Chain A
Amino acid sequence: MPLYRCVTPKGALTHEQRTEVAKAFTDVHCGLSGAPRKFVQVMFLERNGGSEITDSHGNGMMAYDTPYFIAGGNRGGRPPELKARILETLLETFCEITSVSSLEVSGCISEAPASWTMEGGKVLPEPGQESEEWYG
């Protein structure tokens, strides 16, 4: 965590664009949250005509109605304004890099307690409870 999955139409983005988006999303998340870069994952899923993506809450699916969709998954516990700011900046950044209209992109960030995830063999700390080692 965090995990950002970018749903796009098939062949919509070049490798260079994907790389640029991945780096930019990492910058955005770390710049706003203070999290280490090593945890930020960005994946691209190509689909034509899809309208939902797996999500680990509710009935297990998240619906969307735009050709491009950003599905985020973060640790919970941060202020709602920060969560909204991260998503807003990600969407702006995505449009800037890809030249996709903001009308064609939407997104959502799901959150869950950090202790529900293990990474690198260790259960994640809640925001604000990170050790120095975690940042290393």
Chain B
Amino acid sequence: MSWFECTVQEGCVDERFRPGFESALETICVDILGPEAGPVEVSWVVIKRGFGFRAGKPSTTSLVRGRIPDGCDAQTRAQLLRAIGDAWCRLTGAREHELVVSARDQSWAG
């Protein structure tokens, strides 16, 4: 199983794309990491206007932050991050510099 939290700035990403992205996310995780990466649970956080900043200025950046099964090598993790980023940008129309994607090991205690 995997967990992802998607954080978006209010008004920057249309809610209608969410089901499509959630479906794509599960497909990507299972295809790249194997069946143990599914199912994928996704939650959404919307940052209100005036509540999100980047470099000290109002932000349009979204975050997709995940926890995936342990044991993923660096090359596979990079492939996963890129595939998620590509899906996000394709579905939402966002540019890649407006997105941060991360995937931590489930047991990580950092």
**Complex alpha-carbon distance, A3 and B77, angstroms:** 20
State whether the Cβ of A23 lies closer than 8 Å to any Cβ in chain B: yes
Q: Which residue of B lies closest to A38 (CB)?
A: B55
Closest-CB distance, A15 to chain B (whole angstroms): 5
**Complex alpha-carbon distance, A19 and B59, angstroms:** 11
**Complex alpha-carbon distance, A60 and B104, angstroms:** 10
Q: Which residue of B lies closest to A119 (CB)?
A: B100
Closest-CB distance, A94 to chain B (whole angstroms): 14
Closest-CB distance, A101 to chain B (whole angstroms): 22
Closest-CB distance, B100 to chain A (whole angstroms): 5
Which DSSP category, helix, strand, loop or mixed, fits chain A's interface?
mixed
Closest-CB distance, B46 to chain A (whole angstroms): 10
Chain B residues with CB below 8 A from A115, complex form: 74, 77-78
Chain B residues with CB below 8 A from A46, complex form: 48, 51
B61 touching A41 by the CB < 8 A rule? yes
**Complex alpha-carbon distance, A42 and B56, angstroms:** 8
Closest-CB distance, A43 to chain B (whole angstroms): 5
State whether the Cβ of B19 lies closer than 8 Å to any Cβ in chain A: no
State whether the Cβ of A66 lies closer than 8 Å to any Cβ in chain B: no
Known: A3-B63, A118-B102, A120-B96. A18 touches B108 (CB 8 A): no
Interface string of A103-130 (1 = CB under 8 A from B): 0000000111001111111010000000
B65 touching A56 by the CB < 8 A rule? yes
B81 touching A123 by the CB < 8 A rule? yes
B52 touching A43 by the CB < 8 A rule? yes
Interface string of A31-68 (1 = CB under 8 A from B): 00000011111111110000000101110100000000
Binding site for B on A (CB under 8 A): 1, 3, 15, 18-19, 22-23, 26-27, 37-46, 54, 56-58, 60, 76, 110-112, 115-121, 123
A-B contact pairs, 21 of them (CB 8 A): A1-B100, A18-B53, A37-B55, A41-B59, A41-B63, A42-B52, A42-B56, A43-B53, A43-B59, A45-B45, A45-B51, A46-B51, A56-B66, A57-B104, A58-B108, A118-B78, A118-B85, A118-B100, A118-B102, A120-B97, A121-B96
